[in-house]
Structure 1
Amino acid sequence: MSNAPVFEIDPKAFWADPYPALKRMRAEAPIAYVPQLGATLITRRDDIFTQEKRIDVFSSDQPEGLMTVLMGQNMMRKDGADHAAERKAVFPTVSPKTVRDVWTAQFRARTAEVLDRIASHGRCDLVKDFALPVSGEALKAMTGLTNMSYAEMDRVSQGMIDGCANYAGDPEVEANCHDCTGSIDRHIDDRMPQLRETPDHSLLSVQMQAGLSDAQIRANVKLAISGGQNEPRDAIAGAAWALLTHPEQLAMVLAGEASWMQAFEEYARWISPIGMSPRRVARRDTVNGVTFEPEDRVFLMFGSGNRDESVFARPDKFDITQDASASIAFGAGPHFCAGAWASRALIADVALPMLFERFAGLRLSPPEAARFGGWAFRGPLSVPVGLG
C-alpha cells in the first residue's frame, strides 16, 4: 500500500456530493489513501494530467480489476502496442469524418422522434424521457446493436457501471452486472451473421472487419456501452439543467454570443460525468513525496481535477465564459476518450440545440426537484420540466 496520508470519507455523503471532500483533499492531502475505497486518490489536475501518461507506473492493465473480471479485457484496460492496435481497429467507427458523415444525421433523426414523442405530454423528466432515449438510440446505431431497445441499452449500461464501482463487493450488484453482460452477448450473437453479410460503420462491424478476436470484440462493445450511454445521457440532461438554472448564460447561447459546445464543455468540466479512472501500480515509484508500491490501486479523480482552484478561475461555478480548455473530462493521456467526437456531436450539435429550439418555454418544474448522484460516474437522477 502507498504511504499516502489517510483521508476518511463517508461513502453515502461522497456519493451524494463528492466535491466538498475532494476540495479538502486537494488542499490538505492531494494524494491520499481513502480506506473506504481501498485506493489512493490523485486529486489535482496537473498531477492527473502528468501521471496518466506514465503508463509504465500507472498501468491500465488490471487483470484483477472489476471491469476486466466482469466485462473482459477491453482496450481501456490495455497499454502500449496492444491498446494502440485495438484503438486503431475501432477508429473507423468514431473518427471525426464518420461522426460527421454517418452518425450525425442519424442522431438528428432519432432525436426528432424522441422530441415528437414527448411533445404532447406538457411535461417530462429530461433524464428518462429525453436524454436516456436519445443517448440509447445513438449508441444502438454506433455499436451495431440495433436489435436492442434503448431501454435495455440503458439498463445494461447502468448494470455494468454499478458492477465496475462495486468496491464493497455487493453480490446482488455483481449478479445484475453478469445478467447485463449476458444480454449484450446475446444481442451480439444475433447481429454478427447480419453484419458479416452487410458490413457497416458500427463498432461491432468494424472490429469484425479488422479481424479482432471474439473476446476483444465483445469486451470493446461492452466498454462502449458502459461509458457511451451514461456519459451523453447525464451530460445532455445535466447541461440542460445547468442552462435552465443559469438563464443569463442560456440567453447568451440563444443569442449566438456563446455556443452550445461551450455550454457542454463547461458542464463536463463542472460536473464530470466520468469522474474517475482506476489504475494499477506496475512498479515502485514516488510522486510528490508519496511512494506507491506494486499492485496498489490508484484512482485518477478527473472530477476533482476539473475543479482545481489553481487551474480554473471559478472552479465551483458553471460559467460558460471561463476558459475550460484545461478540462480533463475526456481524459488526458493515451486513453483519451475515443468517443469524444461522437459525444460532442450528439450533445452540442444535436440534442441541446434541438431541445431548446423545439421547446422555447422549457422550464424546471419545480425548480428545486432535480437530483444528482454518484462520484465515479456522476449525473442527474431526475430533471422534471415543463415543456411550454
Structure 2
Amino acid sequence: MSTAPQIDIDVAAFWADPYPALAQMRREAPIAFVPQLGSTLLCSRDDIFVSEKQIDVFSSHQPGGLMNRLMGHNMMRKDGEAHMAERKAIAPAVSPKAVRLHWLQQFQAHADRLIDAMDPSEDVDLVRDFAMPFSAECLKLITGLTNMRFQDMNAWSQAMIDGIANYTGDGAIEARCHAATAGIDAAIDDMLPVLTKTPDASLLGVMLASGMPIESVRANIKLAISGGQNEPRDAIAGTVWALLTHPDQLALAREGHVPWIQAFEEYARWISPIGMSPRRIAKPWIIRDVAFAPEERVFLMFGSANRDETHFADPDRFDIRRDTSKSIAFGAGPHFCAGAWASRAMIADVALPILFARLKNLRISETEPVRIGGWAFRGLLNLPVMWDECRH
C-alpha cells in the first residue's frame, strides 16, 4: 500500500456526487488512499497528466485487473509496442478521415430517423429514446456488429462498465458482465464469415484484415463497446441537459457564437463521462513524498483533474466559453481515447445541432426529476423532454 494519507468516503454519496469528496482530496491530500475503493487516488490534474505518460511506472498492463479478467486482454491494458501495434491496426476504422468518409453520413441518417420516430405528445426520455439508440446504432456500424440489436449493444455495454467498476465484488454484477461478454462473442462469431470474406472499414473488418489474433480481436471489440456506447450516450444527453439548464449558453451555441464542439468539450470537462482510469504500479516510485509499492492499484481521477482549481477558474460552473485545452476528458499520453474523433462527430457534428435545429422549443419536462450518477463512469439516467413541433 502507498504511504498516501487515508481519506474515507461514503460510497453511495460518492456515486451520487463525487465532486465534493474529490475537491476535499485536492485540498487536503491530492494523492489519497481510499480504503472503501482499495486504491490510491491521484486527484491533481498535473500529477495525472505526467503520470499517465510514465508507462514504466503507471502501467496499464494489469493481468489481475477486472477488465482483463472479465473482458480479455485488450489494447487499453497493454503498454509500449504491444499497445501501439493494436492501436495502429484499428486506426483505419476510427481515424478522422475514416469518420468523415465512412461514418458521418450514416450517423446523420440514424439521428434523423430517431427524431422522426419521437412523438412530442408522448412522454419522451431523451436518454432512452434518442441518446441511447443513436449511440448504439452508430457503434454497431463502427464495430461491424450490425447483427446486434441496439438494445443489446446498450445493455451489454452497461453490464461490462458495471463489471469493470465492480470494486466491491458484487457477484450479481459480475454475472451480468459474463453474460454480456458471451453475447458479444456470439455476435462476433456470426459476423466472422461475412467480414472475413468481404472486409469493410469497421473495427472488426480492419482487425481481421490485419491478422490480429482472434482473442485480441474479441477483447478489443469488447473494449470499443464498453467505452464507445456509454460515453457518447451520456455526453449527448448530458450536454443537452446542461444547455437547457443554461439558456444563455444555449443561445450562444444556437446563434453560432460558440461552436457545438466547444459545448461538448466543456460538458466533458464539467461532468467527465469517463471519470477514472486504473493503473498498476510497476516499480517503486515517489510523488510528493508519497511512496508507491509495486503491484498496488492506482486510480487516475479524470473527473477530479477536470475540476482542478489550479487550471480551471470556478471549476464547478458549466461555461461553454471556457478554455478547455487543459481538460483530459479523453485521457492523455499514449492511451488517449482512440474513439475520440468518432465521439466528437457523433455528438458535436450530428446529435447536438440536429436536436436543437429540428425540435422547436426543446425543453425539460417536469414529469419526473432528472437523475445523474456514477464516479468511474458518470452520466444522466434519464432526461424527460418536450417540444412544440418537429422541423424537417
Fold match, TM over 0.5?
Answer: yes
What does 1:298-317 correspond to in 2, within 5 Å?
298-317=298-317
- Cα distance, 1:183 vs structure 2: 0.2
Q: Secondary structure at the match of 1:286?
A: strand
Q: Alpha-carbon deviations, 1:28-70, whole Å to 9, x = none?
A: 0000000000000000111100000000000000000000000
Q: AA paired with 1:221?
A: I
Show the counterpart of 1:213: 213
Contact kept in structure 1, 2:108 and 2:350, CA below 8 Å: yes
The residue aligned with 2:85 is 85
Change (3 A) 1:302 1:367: farther
1:122 positional shift: 4.5
> Is 1:356 aligned to residue 352 of structure 2?
no
Q: SS of 1:385's equivalent?
A: strand
Answer yes or no: is the 8 Å Cα contact 1:119–1:387 preserved in 2. Answer: no
Query: Residues 121, 216 of structure 1: CA spacing in aligned structure 2 closer, same or farther, 3 A cutoff?
Result: farther
Shift of 1:112: 0.8
Residue in 2 that maps onto 1:22: 22
Q: Is residue 329 of structure 2 the alignment partner of residue 329 of structure 1? A: yes
- The whole-number CA distance in structure 1 between the counterparts of 2:136 and 2:360 is 25
Amino acid of the structure 2 residue aligned with 1:386? M
Give the secondary structure class of the aligned counterpart of 1:70: helix
Q: Given that residues 368 and 384 in structure 2 are in contact (C-alpha distance below 8 angstroms), is that contact kept between their aligned partners in structure 1?
A: no
Structure 1 SS opposite 2:61: coil
The aligned residue for residue 167 of structure 1 is: 167
Find the residue that maps to 1:382 and give its secondary structure: coil
Q: What per-residue deviation string (whole Å, max 9, x for no partner) do you get for residues 113-164 of structure 1?
A: 1111114545411111110000000000000000001110000000000000
Unaligned stretches of 5+ residues in structure 1: none
1:151-166 equivalences in 2 (<5 Å): 151-166=151-166
* Amino acid in the other structure paired with 1:269: R
Query: Within 2, Cα distance between the matches of 1:16 and 1:86?
Result: 36
Task: Give the conservation status (yes or no) of the 8 Å contact 1:127–1:383.
Answer: yes
Q: Kindly provide the amino acid, as one letter, of the partner of residue 140 in structure 1.
A: K
Distance 1:22 1:139 in 2: 32
Which residue is 1:190 aligned to? 190
Q: Distance in 1 between matches of 2:266 and 2:314?
A: 11
Distance 1:367 1:310 in 2: 40
The 1:385–1:68 alpha-carbon spacing in structure 2 relative to 1, beyond 3 Å, is: same
TM-superposed CA distance for 1:296, in Å, is 0.8
Aligned to 2:69: 69
Report the secondary structure of 2:190's partner residue. Answer: helix
What secondary structure does 2:73 align onto?
A: coil
* Identity across matched positions, percent: 63
2:133 partner SS = helix
Letter in 2 for 1:271: I
> What count of residue pairs does the alignment treat as equivalent?
388
- Post-superposition Cα deviations, 1:289-311, rounded to whole Å, max 9, x if no partner, equal 10000011000000000000010
Structure 2 unmatched ranges of 5 or more: none
TM value normalised by structure 2: 0.98
Tell me, what secondary structure is at the counterpart of 2:275?
A: coil
1:333, distance to aligned residue in structure 2 (A): 1.1
Contact (CA 8 Å) 2:240, 2:352: kept in 1 or not?
yes
| Correspondence 1:62-141 to 2 at 5 A | 62-119=62-119, 121-141=121-141
In structure 2, what is the Cα distance between the partners aligned to 1:76 and 1:367?
A: 41
Distance 1:247 1:3, change over 3 A: same
Which amino acid is the alignment partner of residue 379 of structure 1? G
Q: Write the distance in 2 (CA, Å) between the matches of 1:168 and 1:27.
A: 26
Q: 1:222 to 1:121 in 2, by over 3 A?
A: farther
Q: 2:342 — aligned with what?
A: 342
Root-mean-square deviation (CA, aligned residues, Å) is: 0.9
- What letter matches 1:161 in structure 2? I
* Aligned counterpart, 1:279: 279
Greater Cα shift, 217-226 or 255-264: 255-264
User: After the TM superposition, which parts of structure 1 deviate over 6 Å for at least 4 consecutive aligned residues?
Assistant: none
Q: TM-score, normalised by structure 1?
A: 0.99
Partner of 1:200: 200
Provide Cα deviations, 1:212-271, integer angstroms capped at 9, x if missing partner: 001000000000000000000000000000000000000011111111001000000000
- How far does the alpha carbon of each residue in 1:327-354 deviate from its partner, in whole angstroms, 9 at most, with x for none? 0000011000000000000000000111
| Whole-Å separation in 1 of the counterparts to 2:108 and 2:49 | 34
Which residue of structure 1 lines up, in the alignment, with residue 46 of structure 2? 46
Confirm whether residue 180 of structure 1 aligns to residue 173 of structure 2: no
Q: What amino acid maps onto 2:183 in structure 1?
A: S
Q: Distance in 1 between matches of 2:265 and 2:300?
A: 20
Inter-partner Cα distance in structure 1 for 2:252 and 2:60 = 41
Pairwise CA distance, 1:367: 8.5
